[in-house]
Amino acid sequence: MGHTPLLMAGSPGWTEPATAGHTAAGEAWGRGSGQTPSEFLENPSQSSRLTAPFRKHVRPKKQHEIRRLGELVKKLSDLTGCTQVVDVGSGQGHLSRFMSLGLGLMVKSIEGDQRLVERAQRLDQELLQALQKEEKRNPQVVHTGPRHRPHHVVRWVDPTALCEELLLPLENSPQSEARLLLTGLHACGDLSVALLRHFCRPEVAALASVGCCYMKLSDPGGYPLSQWVAGLPGRELPYRLREGACHALEEYAERLQKAGPGLRTHCYRAALETVIRRARPELRRPGVQGIPRVHELKIEEYVQRGLQRVGLDPHLPLNLAALRAHQAQENRVVAFFSLALLLAPLVETLILLDRLLYLQEQGFHAELLPIFSPELSPRNLVLVATKRPLGETFSVLETEDS
């Protein structure tokens, strides 16, 4: 998220605040300025830094993310001499398509959902056709080098085991020369941890990982990873803290300023939790699939729909008086949530520093770089790692291409 990660005094890599980090990084990690990124000044839904074919089917947030991460991966690949990029948890393949068809990289795209892979392959073909048409309309635009579409693989990556497919070179990349770069754009929970563990293999030369969904991390297993954090007293991060670290402070600050009825969701969800725990005490904080237009519902209507979404009987007898009493506490619930959210930057910093220290403890070179606008993409830090030192070159990776 758009905050300054706080290196803890005494930890490996800690320096005095006056000299820690790059100036540009410090500014980017600061609170969101509320300014629209320059690429969206002309049109808020279309990045001016991407051509039309690469924007199609891609939301503005994702346009910004695939461009920035893709450009970083291209620079990192060139610096480390990588011959192949492996995009893990690739979804519909937007990042893979931009890296391969837009930046000329050899890309293997790994995704566990067959339906997403099939859609990605359709979008690949659609993009290729669009690029060919564009070249015919604009013959003066010369594309240098052959175009390689991503190589898609349906494979579930087990965070606790080695995935051989992830490490295999593409057919046209000789085994003896393959140097891999692993990347993942908001790889969920333990999937980001799996990337770090596979980076330790000799076949892998570089890593660019953007994490997400910290509440899905295993404990132990997904956190802590480093010996240093594992030795901290009180290092435990319960679910509620890890879940809170996934929220966007910039976006929530705007919601508080508007004081709209959508804030009611917090109170309704808290009331639903009390009903769930009375009905099934062992079911704690289950994920509730989005309920549309919550602010238009009565609290009992929300609870009934919520019960159905977590697999409980929506017709359970409800104590309406108790629900009304809960609803009367709406402002206090919002205040409590806001206070809890203030801890989010600290929790995310701890998780990300744990990953960085895990790599440094094994002799690798790693840094956290802010590459996304926090207003567009709150999980805006990429963990970059290499097997050989890059020195000041690390700072080049976060700069915008001209």
- Least confident among 57-71, 79-93, 315-329, 372-386: 372-386
pLDDT for 21 equals 32
With a cut of 90, say whether residue 375 has pLDDT above it: no
Of the pLDDT bands very low, low, confident and very high (cuts 50, 70, 90), residue 7 is very low
Phi and psi of 108, rounded to 5°?
A: -105, 130
With a cut of 50, say whether residue 225 has pLDDT above it: yes
pLDDT for 24 equals 30
Average pLDDT for residues 104-126, to the nearest whole number? Answer: 96
Which domains can be identified in the chain, with CATH numbers? 47-212+364-398 (3.40.50.150), 249-341 (no CATH)
pLDDT for 176 equals 53
Of the pLDDT bands very low, low, confident and very high (cuts 50, 70, 90), residue 174 is low
pLDDT greater at residue 236 or residue 142? 236
pLDDT in tens, 13-42: 333 322 233 323 333 333 344 567 889 888
pLDDT for 262 equals 83
Please state, rounded to an integer, the average pLDDT across all residues of the chain: 85
pLDDT in tens, 177-205: 789 999 999 999 999 999 999 999 999 99
